[in-house]
């Protein structure tokens, strides 16, 4: 395929805008975006999140409005995260199983507002509900136990599916949870509820602003390294993904995003399944901080990074920039 100069001049096809658009290999549309939204109690409430400039927690009425906005922009799916009231957090995170919790009420409000016009993805993990900020149950040494946690996550998933969630997204990194959730969905009359597995989720320094947003940051002692992956590992990500596909995931996720493009690429090449990236809170905040510091144009910075996910093989990206990007894409 290598030509020789001047028979081949690779700049020829770049010389004009029409030609660049004709030869463009990767195209992004609003349908490639999933918009994460933070829910808080009350009504008529917007609480800006200091470490996520431009992102707020909204009370349920505001979430319904945002969901309509997403649909109008051509964004096919939103992801919901609750900022659970402090007095409803406990060691065992049992508020996650309450059919009337903030999450379930938000799901129903979005469904009422948008009908089936938008997908609702819900995160499965206990960290927004526990008083210790970990994603699972602790034993008396503080270790996050696997199998007992999975049992609770199954109930949490069914609670969300019963409320109307379309995509269950386990973000907890327990072993075996996808199979357990899939079996429970089948047994509870939810055969078409999807599972998007956070398969390769790394113990990352980029989650800080998210933990502020759901109020778990101040509670968390220690780290999540006994369940989230070591950023040094790529082969292990392939094992995680293989398990989740075998256990019944419809799509898999790599998280964070940009620092793990190699993992996205390998996953797509190896498994040919739908791969999604989560451009996490710290990644969003760095783009905003960079733009504010004069590094470059905010819109150009963010679109270049989002396009990279598509080029690497993603079917879509969870990003707090979703509405901004959708507008830039003409949605
Ligand atoms: C909860 C969860 C986290 C994120 C998504 N789901 C935080 C964590 O694992 O500590 C991070 C998302 C972001 O940083 O934007 N398990």
Instruction: Please check whether residue 252 lies inside any domain of the structure.
Output: yes
Q: Which of 130, 149, 160, 171 for mutating ligand 1's site (highest number of atoms within 8 Å of CB)?
A: 171
Instruction: Please check whether residue 9 lies inside any domain of the structure.
Output: no
Number of domains in the chain: 1
Instruction: Please check whether residue 294 lies inside any domain of the structure.
Output: yes
- Residue whose Cα lies nearest atom 2 of ligand 1: it is 171
Give the tens place of pLDDT for each residue, 265-281: 999 999 999 999 999 99
Predicted confidence at residue 1, as pLDDT, reads: 65
Instruction: Please check whether residue 34 lies inside any domain of the structure.
Output: yes
**pTM of the prediction?**
0.97
Give the tens place of pLDDT for each residue, 201-245: 999 999 999 999 999 999 998 999 999 999 999 999 999 999 999
The answer, yes or no, to whether residue 331 has pLDDT greater than 80, is no
- Ligand 1 binding site (Cβ under 6 Å of any ligand atom): 123, 125, 127, 135, 171, 207, 210-211, 224, 280-281
Lookup: tokens for 87: 């007095």
Q: Which of 37, 204, 210, 278 for mutating ligand 1's site (highest number of atoms within 8 Å of CB)?
A: 210
Give the tens place of pLDDT for each residue, 81-111: 999 999 999 999 999 999 999 999 999 999 9
CATH number of 73's domain: 3.20.20.70
State mean pLDDT over 162-173.
98
The answer, yes or no, to whether residue 326 has pLDDT greater than 70, is yes
Q: Which numbered atom of ligand 1 lies nearest the CA of 209?
A: 14
Predicted confidence at residue 299, as pLDDT, reads: 98
Containing structural domain, residue 151: 28-329
């Amino acid at each position: 395929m290598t030509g020789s100069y001047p028979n081949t001049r690779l700049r020829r096809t770049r010389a004009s805008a029409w030609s660049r658009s004709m030869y463009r290999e990767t195209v992004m549309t609003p349908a490639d975006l999933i918009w994460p939204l933070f829910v808080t109690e009350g009504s008529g409430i917007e609480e800006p999140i200091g470490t996520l400039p431009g992102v707020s927690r909204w009370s349920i009425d505001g979430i319904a409005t945002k969901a309509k906005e997403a649909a109008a922009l051509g964004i096919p799916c939103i992801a919901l995260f609750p900022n659970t009231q402090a007095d409803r957090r406990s060691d065992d995170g049992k508020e996650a199983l309450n059919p009337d919790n903030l999450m379930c009420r938000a799901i129903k409000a979005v469904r009422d507002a948008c009908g089936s016009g938008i997908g609702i993805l819900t995160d499965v993990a206990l960290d927004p509900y526990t008083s210790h900020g970990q994603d699972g149950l602790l034993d008396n040494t503080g270790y996050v136990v696997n199998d007992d946690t999975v049992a609770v996550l199954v109930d949490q998933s069914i609670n969300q599916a019963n409320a109307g969630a379309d995509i269950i997204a386990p973000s907890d990194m327990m072993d075996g949870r996808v199979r357990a959730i899939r079996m429970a969905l089948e047994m509870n009359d939810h055969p078409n509820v999807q599972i998007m597995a956070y398969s390769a989720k790394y113990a990352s320094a980029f989650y800080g602003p998210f933990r502020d947003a759901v109020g778990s940051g101040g509670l968390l002692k220690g780290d999540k390294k006994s369940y989230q992956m070591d950023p040094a590992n790529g082969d292990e990500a392939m094992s995680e993904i293989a398990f989740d596909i075998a256990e019944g995931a419809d799509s898999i996720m790599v998280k964070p995003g940009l620092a793990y493009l190699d993992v996205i690429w390998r996953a797509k090449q190896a498994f040919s399944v739908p791969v999604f990236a989560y451009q996490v809170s710290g990644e969003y905040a760095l783009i905003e901080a960079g733009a504010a510091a004069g590094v470059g144009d905010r819109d150009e910075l963010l679109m270049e990074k989002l396009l990279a996910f598509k080029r690497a093989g993603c079917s879509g990206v969870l990003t707090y920039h979703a509405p901004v990007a959708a507008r830039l894409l003409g949605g």
